[in-house]
Amino acid sequence: MKAPDIVVQRVYEGLGPEGGYRALVDRMWPRGLSREELGLDVWARDVAPSTELRKWFCHKVELWPEFRRRYLEELAAPEEQERLRALLADAGRRPLVLLYGARDTEHNQAVVLREALQALADKRAGSEPAAKAARTVKAAQAAKAVKTGKTAKTAKAAR
């Protein structure tokens, strides 16, 4: 299964890709916009950086590398990973559009969140073929055992 497209978009720049699953990933609601204007599917404020981290960063570019590291650390927590998996699942096969309100298009939480979501989606997509291959091997072994009249127990006993 192909990993979904994940797009980062500023809320003040229109609707973006048509048919995408639109998730606002800010803790605070963007000024001057209504839910209808955003065309939101979900306000995913729980995957936004913690209030402490957001206030510490304060969109200062010189703090970006440390902000990125700390936010990825927050996103690595098991409960956050579950939220990320749920967000990917909710988007399904549609492109996932991560909406944010910051002015800086390169140094904001949506950029980091996209990185974390993409890594998780790629991991999931990569593990599916491996799991399918393992099931195919097991099925082939079972079919061979039936054909030769050996079960797993008799094959072990013969060794």
pLDDT of residue 129: 46
40 contact partners, CB below 8 Å, separation of at least 6: 22, 23, 24, 99
- The pLDDT score that the predictor gives to residue 87 is 96
Check residue 29 and report its DSSP letter. Answer: P
For residues 73-83, give the mean pLDDT: 96
Residue 36 structure tokens: 């209808």
What are the helix (H) ranges across the chain?
35-38, 51-57, 64-75, 78-91, 109-148, 152-158
CA distance 152 to 111: 50
Kindly report the average pLDDT of the chain as a whole number.
82
**CA–CA gap between residue 17 and residue 62 (Å, rounded):** 31
- pLDDT at 18 exceeding the cut of 60: yes
Whether the Cβ atoms of residue 7 and residue 83 lie closer than 8 Å to each other: no
* Burial (Cβ within 10 Å: 0-12, 13-18, ≥19) of residue 55: exposed
Rg over CA atoms, the chain: 22
pLDDT digits (tens, 9 = 90+) for 45-68: 999 999 999 999 999 999 999 999
| pLDDT above 70: residue 124 | yes
**Cα 76 to Cα 31: distance, rounded to the nearest angstrom:** 30
pLDDT at 43 over 50: yes
- Are 25 and 47 in contact, with CB atoms under 8 Å apart? yes
Contacts of 134 (CB under 8 A, 6+ apart): none
Q: Is pLDDT at 142 greater than 90 in this prediction?
A: no
